[in-house]
């Protein structure tokens, strides 16, 4: 019994991301509303399943150091190929390529984040994202 519980807990810890990224158009709309109510920004990650750079970004977001940057923040992943609603959000944000990362302030102002250092070593990406996010989360 103890062994089964150990494996179950280990499985959960390995499969559950530390960040609380939400997905889809309905999550986007609810987070924007929540952002306005609580006066906090929303982070929007726009990606595509077929995009090799998005696959690298997905892996980077799972890195514990980078994951901590997004912990306890309103964050949503948008995949325009998944639904017309997500495609509409992507167009509204002015996405020109994948992956794209935006911060939307409660007043509706959007800022695109630079994604430099996306490669083998996540340290450069971490430093770039931290510097940019620190402007919004003081």
Are 43 and 102 in contact, with CB atoms under 8 Å apart?
yes
- The pLDDT-based confidence of 1 (bands split at 50, 70, 90) is low
The CATH code for residues 17-134 is: 3.40.30.10
Domain ranges of the chain: 17-134
Collect all residues with Cβ–Cβ distance below 8 Å to 103 and sequence separation of at least 6: 41, 42, 43, 44, 110, 111, 113, 132, 133, 136
- The pLDDT-based confidence of 9 (bands split at 50, 70, 90) is very low
pLDDT above 60 for 6: no
- List, for residues 13-33, the tens digit of each pLDDT value: 333 344 589 999 999 999 999
Task: Report the relative pairing of strands 42-46 and 100-104 from DSSP bridges.
Answer: antiparallel
- List, for residues 88-103, the tens digit of each pLDDT value: 999 999 999 999 999 9
- List, for residues 37-49, the tens digit of each pLDDT value: 999 999 999 999 9
Q: Which long-range contacts (CB under 8 A, 24 or more apart) does 127-131 make?
A: 129/66, 129/69, 129/101, 130/69
């Amino acid at each position: 019994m103890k062994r089964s519980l150990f494996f179950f807990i280990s499985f959960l810890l390995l499969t559950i991301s530390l960040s609380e990224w939400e997905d889809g158009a309905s999550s986007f709309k609810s987070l924007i509303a929540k952002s306005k109510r609580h006066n906090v920004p929303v982070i929007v990650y726009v990606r595509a399943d077929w995009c090799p750079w998005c696959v690298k970004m997905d892996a980077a977001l799972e890195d514990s150091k980078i994951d901590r940057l997004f912990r306890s923040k309103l964050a949503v992943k948008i995949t325009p190929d998944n639904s017309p609603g997500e495609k509409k959000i992507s167009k509204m944000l002015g996405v020109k390529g994948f992956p794209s990362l935006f911060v939307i302030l409660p007043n509706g102002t959007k800022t695109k984040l630079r994604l430099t250092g996306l490669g083998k070593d996540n340290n450069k990406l971490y430093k770039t994202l931290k510097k940019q996010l620190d402007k919004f989360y003081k």
